[in-house]
Structure 1
Amino acid sequence: MTYTINKIAQFAGVTLRTLRFYDKIGLLTPSGRTEAGYRLYSDEDVERLQQVLFFRELDFPLAKIGEILNDPDFDRKEALRRQADFLKKRGDRYLKLAQLAKDTLFNLEGGLKMTNTDLFNGFDYDKMVEEQKRYEPEVQERWGQTEAYRISKERTANYTKEDWERINKIQMTNLKELRDLYTAGVPYDDLRVQVVVEKAHKFIHDTFYPCPLDMFSGLGNMYVADARFTAHYEKFAPGLAAYYNDAIQHYCITKA
C-alpha cells in the first residue's frame, strides 16, 4: 500500500516541512513517486518513520538515527524493546516532576508544607560558572592551539563583570526562547526557531570568535555528543539538546 505525503503527515502527526526535510537529508526517502513527481510512501517507509520518531523522542540526533537505521544489522524488534524500556524510565521521571508540580501547587494553596529542598526534588541544577572553571583545563587541551580559541581568549580577557552579566543575560534569553518554542511543539526547522539559532550564531561570532558554518555545525553536534553539554540543555527541557542540534544542522544546511 502507498501513502501520499499529506496522508503520512496526518496520521503520523508530523509536518509536511519535516517530511520534506527528512527526504532532503536522506533520513526518510519515499519509495516511489507519482508521474507528477509527488512523493509516495510504502508500509516500510511508515515503519521507518515510526523508528525515526521513537529515536527522536529519545533525543538521538538525526545523523545518528540515519546511521542506526541504515545499519544492515539493525533489528527493529530489539530496537522497540529497548525504546520501550527507555521511554518507561523517562516516563517515570516525568511522573515524578508532575507530582512535584502538584505538590507545589498544593503548598501554595496552604495544604502542604514544603521545604526548599522539597521544592527542587526532581531537578538537578549546577552552577554554570563553576562548571566553566572546572572544564577550563580540558578546553585548553582540546582547543588551545586553535585560532578560534586564541581569538576568544583575547576578546574575553578585557570583558568586565558587567560585560559577562550582559553576555549571560543574552545567552539565557536566547535559550529560554528556544525552550519555549520546543515545549510548544514548534518544529526545529520552523522560521521562529531558525531566527533564534541565527541570533545564537551571530552572538558567538560577535562575542567570542569567528564561527563559520562548519564550526557552528560542529558545536551543535557536540551538544549531543558530550554528555556534559547535553546535561546543561536538558536542565531547561528534556530533549532540548537534540532539538537545538537539529535546528543548528538545518540552519547550516540552508545557509550553506
Structure 2
Amino acid sequence: MRYSVRQVASFAGVTVRTLHHYDKAGLLTPSARSRAGYRLYDESDLARLQQILFYRELGFSLDEITAILDDPEANALDQLRARQRQLADEIARLQRLAEVAERAIEVQQTGVTLTPEERFEVFGEIRFDLSYATERQLKWAGTAGQREAMARAAAHTKEDWRRLMAEAAAWRERLLDAYDAGEPSDGERAMDLAEEHRRHITRWFTSCPPDMHRRIADDFVADPRAFALVVPPAQQRPELAGYLGKAVHANASRIETGGAPNPWDRRASRDARAAQDSKEDR
C-alpha cells in the first residue's frame, strides 16, 4: 500500500515541507510517484522515516543520520553510545544551570543568600521565607517595606542570621512560657513579648509601626505557613497564633495611647528582682 505525502505527514506528525526537505537531501526518497508526479511512500519508506525521526529526536544531524542509515560500515551502536555520553554531559550541564536558577529564585524570594547547607544549619526546621506566597501576602509584594526587608536580609551574614535566630528562639521560649502559664493575651507580659517581636522585625528587617505589626499578626492567625515562620509546628500550641495576635493588637493600642515602656528594661527589672529574691532566700 502506498501513501501520499500528506498522509505520511499526518501519520508521522511532521510537516509536508519536512518530507520535501528529506527528499531533496537524499535522506528519504519516496519509492514511487503518481502519474501526476506526486510522491508516494510505501511501508519501507515509513520504516525509514521512523528511524530518521528517532535519530533526530536524539539530536543527530541529517548528515549523521544519512551516514548511519546508508553506510554499511557505519556502526549505529557506537554512534548511539557517543550520543548517550553527549546527552549525559548536557543533562549534567542543564542540571547545574537549573540549580543556579533555583538558587537565584530563592534569593529573590527570601532575601537569604546562604547556601542550602547553611540555611539548614542556621534555620533548622523553620523554613525561612520573607515572601511566603499566600493570597493575603500578595498585598505585601512590591511594597517599600518588603523591598527594604529583602535588601537587609540579603546583606545579613551567616553570623547575623545566627544571632537573629538565637534572639528569635529565646523570644519564642518566653512566648511559650507565658502561654503555658496562662498569662492573659492582653496582659503586661504578653504585650511586652509582642513589643519585643515588633522591635525584632525593625532591628533586622524593616521599620514595623504598630499598624503594620497588626497586619503581620493577622496573617499569623489566618495562615499557618505565616505563623510557622515564628513558631515551628513542633512547638505550636492550640490557639497560640490567636494568642499572639491578640497580644500584638493589645500592644499596638498601648503604643498608640502612649503607654508602652521598653520591654527589655522591664524584663531586666524583673530579672533583677528575681535575683534579689533568690539571694534573700539563701
Instruction: Return the TM-score normalized by structure 2.
Output: 0.42
Query: Which structure has the bigger radius of gyration?
Result: 2
User: Under a length normalisation based on structure 1, what TM-score does the superposition of the two structures give?
Assistant: 0.46
Larger RCO (CA within 8 A; separation ≥ 6): 1
